[in-house]
Amino acid sequence: MVQVWATLLACLAAIVATAGATSNNLTDLVTWDPYSLMVKGERVFIFAGEFHYERLPNPVLWRDVLEKYKANGLNAISVYFFWSYHSARRDVFDFETPGKDIQVLLDTARDVGLYVIARPGPYCNAETNGGGLALWGSDGSLGKVRTSDAVYERAWKPWMDAVNAILAKNQISYGGNVILYQIENELQETTHSPSNTLVLYMEALENATREAGIVVPTTSNEKGMRSESWSTDYEDVGGAVNVYGLDSYPGGFSCTNINSGFNVVRTYYQWFQNYSYTQPELLPEFEAGYILGWGSYFFDQCLAEHDPAFADVYYKNNIGQRVTMQSLYMAFGGTNWGNLGAPVVYTSYDYSAPLRETREVQLKFKQTKLIALFTRVSQDLLITEMESNGTGNAVSTDDVYSWVLRNPETGAGFYTLQQSSTPSREIVTFSTFLKTSLGTVTVPMVNLNGRQSKILTTDYHFGQHTLLYSSADILTYGILKGQAALVMYADAGQTSEFAFKDNTDLSYKIYGTANISSSAVSFSNTTSYSSHIAKKYVYTQTYGSTVLQLSNGVLVYLLETQTAWTFFAPPTTMDPNVSPENQVFVLGPYNVRNVSCSDNAVILVGDNANTTNIEVYTGGHERTIVWNGKRLDTRRTAYGSLVGTAPGATDRVISLPQLSFLVADSLPEAQPDYDDSQWVVCNKSSSLSPTVPLTLPVLFSSDHGYYAGIKVYRGRFNGKASSVNITAQGGAAAGWTAWLNGHYVGGNTGNATQWRSSAILDLTQTSIPNATNVLTVVTDYTGHDETSTGPAGVENARGLLGAALYNGSRTTNFTSWKIQGNAGGNANIDPVRGPMNEDGLYGTRLGWHLPGFEPSVSEWKSGSPYEGLNKSGINWYHTTFQLGIDADLDVPLGIELDAPARTEASVQIYVNGYQYGKFIPQIGPQTRFPFPPGVLNNRGENTISLALWAMTDKGARLSNATLFAYNVYQSGFAFDRDWSALQPRYTMDRSRYR
């Protein structure tokens, strides 16, 4: 009975709290008001992270990533679904092979306890090949993309229907975790007119979602503050979504100057007030790192992007402006393996993201966690009005800027403090004037340590208690088995104070080194409680943690910031909206994935590089900590937590083999007598692509059914010719090389900022018989364009744009052209690795990159990429080796490649059949390529190939090709599995793709 009443009361409370909520009239399970989103009637701060499952082809690792998102405080994932990845041919969709089984992704999100914000395009951008549009449409057959063009609609509708059908049944209304659905991406409403083609397009997409049974609210993603699109609150002429969103990448960092950028944007609040005032403030993408392209820097080099201060100042700045929904782009970037990238990015899509490409948690994520966990439990934050803001506002100095939010129902206040000039590294100490329900309090000695922000609170409610104020940041609180535990953090040496509203004279015990004193709070303008004497606790933070046990039953953890980075609050529920009751507190390790409690033990699963002390607080009476299946020697502290030592992995030996290779020629096509009778003949005289062919026949690769990867062309002509003018377009950094009758005649070795290049090749140096001559051209490829790259986007042609042959000043003709691309073209012969993975190199076509391929003695000899080629050509280096990493370790492995200065080459890296890297030494910057488990077998046999294409007659060789380990973690995640389903093996029928 008690239980029934409690449930009824809880329901009633939820209804009261959300009275006045707006629904889209399709579901009441997700609603909103101007303050926040409500899921099942309960307000929730959405702190999401973008995740592209496409960029991590092992679905088991999706769980690894999502568990780390969850551990670091996120409660949702935002996910693009790339049409290109699922559709090798028109109207054919793969949602079944492991890496494309999005049901597994959605199930994993549900099991880990993360909401899902679905973003199925059809256009995504995302620096992915073609922006996510189907590559079979790169021949121009998609029509006028991203408009209401009927040709385009006929193309996208089947994709949307297919993906929507899966998303629909995973909505929260059917027990799934999909709570929001974004329509299109960054589509700018240029003209607010009902007949605008973009309006009609948005409406068509919305109709398609409704037809498919999508009932959760729709959202949008405005491209920065560049237009005012799709909001019901602003010139709504149709196509508006339920909750308007704005993306923002404000960091402005440079990789060479650590001091550049770091100016926060202070106009979000006003923007949302202007354009979406009936909705909560949504940042569907907020900078968590940024892209870097060919020829620029590697992500490790851009130190400012990795600074935890970025998360601290920028994310708090959003909170200060009343944002209650934000998603970090990217929270984990992953890899542009297998031609997944657009030309604007190289293989790594690490993005300097909080979770690195190697799946390692960097400090920025740990700082993010402190903020995310705060938003997870701070109910007071979910209804606030902007009370005041400005330079010198509520503080004693103009060096500090503040945002003051007030909850009109509870009176709680949130004072976000930041440097007036946020790039400043000055240490400022000042007073803050906090309005509490008992009067204004002056807090002296508040300190910002350079690039730092703080959220001070007043009348902050937790459980039965109210903090009258706190000048230390609150990390989180828990009501753990009835025990209230509050966690705060500050830098070592910073002085903070806090007071409770409900108790005037508490006794307390201190465990730890921080000095704490208590005294009466003095109010400058007391209210009706003028006689009220509240007690404040003033302390200076020391390294590590200090625990304060108060006689009102509250346990306060005072953590120094870096110690706070090792704090976790794993939930005991799958509900992403974690209530303060459903958590356990853990301090010490590198990562905590999940927790469960038995009568006697707290069972934790996590990861640890170093052996660390671990402290667990459950509020209960367990006696033992079990860490990754191991019972730790556990003792109980005087204040009721458990302490033990969690093992690390520093004593583990990782032995990696030196690679020794076999070599074979991968360019027999340059020889004039090569048999290309099975190749596709280029015989089209027109193309749908907006790119104009410079000569006929049309040589664009997409027009011949070859979309991704390197292409090989063979053009024949009879008799004399003196030169040929070749134009190729492969995307940034993509070069090309030409041979006449097997002899190098020239090309272009690529340029980081040039998509296309032309060269007039002198043919007079090569002997030209009167009979048939063959010009072989190999063109590199770095992806199809996004629509942000003119003139058209995905339809911008790839491969050869023209080949004009001359004999002296006279034009003469090729008699035929043939093209070869990835084996099978759009037949998708290796669906597991997918339609984009391969390229048209001879070795790839023949399956030399696949596990199980056995180099024949006749064709292969031993050879090393360190020797390389002494003239132009393409050598294929093949190796197999065993790895035997301990089963309980997570060891991110990779290969490091280097080449002598002035080498001009393009190197394709294949790992167990996956194209997992492209190394272009003359352009760079990437030299280290990580391979996740499942692509590489950390235990078992591996096949690695390096296809070394020497682009000039100087030849090319590597100076380094070494396997290495990024780090070693003892892990409770079972990385030791049978990955064979992800690695289909070589089959004999490959020989037909010669």
Q: Provide the binding-site residues for ligand GAL, judged by CB under 6 A.
A: 124-127, 185-186, 221, 223, 247, 285, 291, 329
For residue 944, the cross-strand partners are 879, 911
Dihedral of the alpha carbons of 905, 906, 912, 916, in degrees to the nearest 10: 130
115, amino acid identity: Y
For 988, the token pair is: 């004999």
**Nearest by Cα to 712 from 835, 814, 802, 839:** 839
For residue 715, the cross-strand partners are 775, 817
Shortest spacing between CB 209 and ligand GAL, in angstroms: 19
**Active-site annotation holds for 96:** no
**Residue keyed to tokens 């209230």:** 484
Shortest spacing between CB 117 and ligand GAL, in angstroms: 13
For residue 728, the cross-strand partners are 757, 800
Q: Is the peptide bond before 330 cis (omega within 30 degrees of 0)?
A: yes
Q: Are 401 and 390 in contact (CB under 8 A)?
A: yes
Smaller CB distance to ligand GAL: residue 285 or 669?
A: 285
Question: Residue 662 phi/psi, 5° resolution?
Answer: -105, 155
Smaller CB distance to ligand GAL: residue 247 or 676?
A: 247
Smaller CB distance to ligand GAL: residue 118 or 885?
A: 118
Shortest spacing between CB 83 and ligand GAL, in angstroms: 14
Smaller CB distance to ligand GAL: residue 83 or 329?
A: 329
> CA 469, CA 473: separation in Å to the nearest integer?
11
Shortest spacing between CB 275 and ligand GAL, in angstroms: 18
Smaller CB distance to ligand GAL: residue 78 or 879?
A: 78
> CA 68, CA 171: separation in Å to the nearest integer?
23
Catalytic residue among 54, 186, 206, 222: 186
Shortest spacing between CB 224 and ligand GAL, in angstroms: 7
Q: Count of alpha carbons within 13 Å of 136, Cβ hemisphere only?
A: 19
Q: Are 460 and 474 in contact (CB under 8 A)?
A: yes
Shortest spacing between CB 789 and ligand GAL, in angstroms: 12
> CA 977, CA 985: separation in Å to the nearest integer?
17
Dihedral of the alpha carbons of 786, 788, 789, 795, in degrees to the nearest 10: 50
Shortest spacing between CB 877 and ligand GAL, in angstroms: 34
Q: Count of alpha carbons within 13 Å of 706, Cβ hemisphere only?
A: 32
E strand or H helix at 462 = strand 454-462
For residue 395, the cross-strand partners are 432
Shortest spacing between CB 733 and ligand GAL, in angstroms: 18
For 16, the token pair is: 């009261």
Q: Are 484 and 465 in contact (CB under 8 A)?
A: yes
> CA 735, CA 747: separation in Å to the nearest integer?
7
Shortest spacing between CB 247 and ligand GAL, in angstroms: 5
Smaller CB distance to ligand GAL: residue 302 or 961?
A: 302
Shortest spacing between CB 81 and ligand GAL, in angstroms: 13
> CA 112, CA 588: separation in Å to the nearest integer?
22
CB neighbours of 263 closer than 8 A, spacing ≥ 6?
A: 250, 252, 421, 422, 423
**Active-site annotation holds for 186:** yes
The DSSP symbol for 173 reads: G
The DSSP symbol for 950 reads: E
Shortest spacing between CB 188 and ligand GAL, in angstroms: 11
Q: Count of alpha carbons within 13 Å of 273, Cβ hemisphere only?
A: 9
Smaller CB distance to ligand GAL: residue 50 or 676?
A: 50
> CA 374, CA 367: separation in Å to the nearest integer?
11
Please state at what angle helix 102-112 crosses helix 150-169, rounded to 10 degrees.
40
> In a 3-state reduction of DSSP, which class is residue 56?
coil
> In a 3-state reduction of DSSP, which class is residue 403?
strand
Instruction: List % helix, strand, coil for the chain (3-state, nearest 5).
Output: 15, 35, 50
Longest dimension (CA), the chain: 110
Smaller CB distance to ligand GAL: residue 31 or 336?
A: 336
DSSP line for 32-65:
E-SS-EEETTEEE-EEEEEE-GGGS--HHHHHHH
Shortest spacing between CB 201 and ligand GAL, in angstroms: 17
Smaller CB distance to ligand GAL: residue 55 or 451?
A: 55
Q: Are 581 and 476 in contact (CB under 8 A)?
A: no
| Chain center to CA of 570 | 22
Residue whose CB is nearest to ligand GAL in the complex, by number: 125
For residue 594, the cross-strand partners are 605
Shortest spacing between CB 239 and ligand GAL, in angstroms: 18
Burial bucket for residue 129 (CB in 10 Å: 0-12, 13-18, 19+):
buried
CA distances from 428 to 433, 445, 556 (A): 16, 9, 26
Dihedral of the alpha carbons of 846, 848, 853, 855, in degrees to the nearest 10: 100
The DSSP symbol for 315 reads: I
Catalytic residue among 285, 287, 305, 497: 285
Catalytic residues: 186, 285
